Structure 1
């Protein structure tokens, strides 16, 4: 029997988007809940409320939940990473926090919002940690904190069994996400010994999917590969062209000032060409700005 990768859009939604009890188990294991706090209710957001951002179409942003103390959570599975993704997570969490305050409501009624992002890429190469928990703390007395927004990023490629002690279900769910690959045939016995994990594994059986679903599964991986290649190539080409054109134009001027100006102009021309290609592929203006350094007006004029 062969199984599919749970990180694919199709399989992730099949497991966690159709079975709330499995999602509750998953979130109670992954979120930094204190003793006595458990998630009780889940709300799947309708499609029209899920953000549509071209570069981030490989993310799942469709679950809001609440625990037994009233805290709200945003759940997000992200396959591609850029620095602007971190900003977007903060923006979405902030919006969820602000939207709690309806007309006539008091600030005292605001509940904290947690955003959990599972990222299938390494984005903190200088850190050995795979679990990153951000919150508002006092700079000199970290035990003092402000309740409000908390962001949790999990770098899945860094997870290894034995690196986390004390939270058994967290280890099991992370093993589920990282050890089951496309065409996996042998499932670890530890996963099958836990009822929730055993059920979640069953939903990954290749034979349970139709031919059309399997074609969509393959297309998803193809699109992930294409986006990663495009993003890497755009950054690489922009840097190389900027250096080459700046050097050539600087030499022609024969002066230090001319060299600096030529280099700057070369970088600008390269950035414009990079932005033009990204715009043709559907990247949003904010992402293009971050990756190229161009003004919004320059991008709009392309």
Structure 2
């Protein structure tokens, strides 16, 4: 049996954006939910959160859903890390939080928003562990929490099966995400023995995808390759230095032209506008006009 990589955009959304039981299992395994707070049922919401003001930014996530209590869950797979990603996660979660209320509704109707972010790179090399949970806490008394936003980042390259031995499903889902890819010919028995993981493996079978979908799958990895090249280039370093004193002022005219060429190529390859902004530092309107 030949499988595709579950971390690709197409496959990740196919598994967790089309199968409620699988995303429920993933969320219950990876979110910091207390006993009796487990998710039992969800409904999918549009992955694009449209702003009430057309001049504001759109929010786009891989999977967005809501349970019976009204809690919202945002799930993203991020193949490459960039300094802007934390702000983007906070922006998306905050927008989902404030969009719960219509004008005149009471604040007590607000329900928590959980943002689960699976990152395929190490971005906290100095911090131990792969699991990073952020919440609004009292600086001196961290047991005091303002409920609302819960941000979870998982550094997939740091994960080892023995890290969280007491959380069986967490280990199994992370093994699924980190061990299965195009080179997999044998799936460990413990993964196949779990019904949810076995179903996800079935979804991943290459034979389940059309030729057009397989083409899009390959194009995704081409885009990732382009992004990696950009991130490792000297232009990236110079651009980040320029951001500190102002994006436009920090770039020379030649660098701007170069970034426009890169952005045009990314746009042609089907990459979404928000990610191109994050990678190039160009204004959204400039990219849309290319």
Q: TM-score range by the shorter chain?
A: 0.7 to 0.9
Deviations 1:16-69 (A, max 9, x none): 122111111111111111100122333333365479xxxxx9x84332222x54
* Matching residue within 240, 257, 268 for 1:276: 257
Q: 1:49 to 1:145 in 2, by over 3 A?
A: closer
- Distance in 2 (CA, whole Å) between partners of 1:39 and 1:4 is 28
Q: 1:215 to 1:235 in 2, by over 3 A?
A: same
Cα contact 1:235–1:291 (8 A) shared by 2: no
Kindly report structure 1 stretches of 4+ aligned residues shifted beyond 6 Å.
283-292
Q: Match of 2:40, SS?
A: strand
1:12 aligns to what? 12
- TM-score norm. by structure 2 comes to 0.80
1:61 aligns to what? 62
Structure 1 stretches lacking a partner, 5+ long: 52-56, 243-263
- Distance in 1 (CA, whole Å) between partners of 2:278 and 2:160 is 36
2:197 aligns to what? 197
Shift of 1:291: 7.3
Larger Rg: 1
- Distance in 2 (CA, whole Å) between partners of 1:165 and 1:269 is 48
Shift of 1:286: 10
Cα contact 1:50–1:62 (8 A) shared by 2: no
- Please say if 1:232 is aligned against 2:213: no
Q: 1:45 to 1:270 in 2, by over 3 A?
A: same
Cα contact 2:2–2:184 (8 A) shared by 1: yes
2:89 aligns to what? 89
Cα contact 1:81–1:121 (8 A) shared by 2: yes
Alignment of 1:115-134 (within 5 A): 115-134=115-134
- Distance in 2 (CA, whole Å) between partners of 1:29 and 1:20 is 14
Cα contact 1:60–1:78 (8 A) shared by 2: no
- Distance in 1 (CA, whole Å) between partners of 2:146 and 2:64 is 25
Deviations 1:259-287 (A, max 9, x none): xxxxx9xxx67554334322341586998
- Distance in 2 (CA, whole Å) between partners of 1:132 and 1:274 is 35
Shift of 1:238: 2.6
- Distance in 2 (CA, whole Å) between partners of 1:172 and 1:285 is 32
Cα contact 2:82–2:278 (8 A) shared by 1: no
1:72 aligns to what? 72
Shift of 1:71: 2.5
- Distance in 1 (CA, whole Å) between partners of 2:14 and 2:275 is 31
Higher helix share: 1
Shift of 1:194: 0.7
Alpha-carbon RMSD across the aligned residues, in angstroms, is 3.5
1:27 aligns to what? 27
- Distance in 1 (CA, whole Å) between partners of 2:195 and 2:274 is 46
Q: 1:162 to 1:237 in 2, by over 3 A?
A: closer
Alignment of 1:236-251 (within 5 A): 238=238
Cα contact 2:79–2:224 (8 A) shared by 1: yes
Q: 1:176 to 1:290 in 2, by over 3 A?
A: closer
- TM-score norm. by structure 1 comes to 0.77
Cα contact 1:118–1:156 (8 A) shared by 2: yes
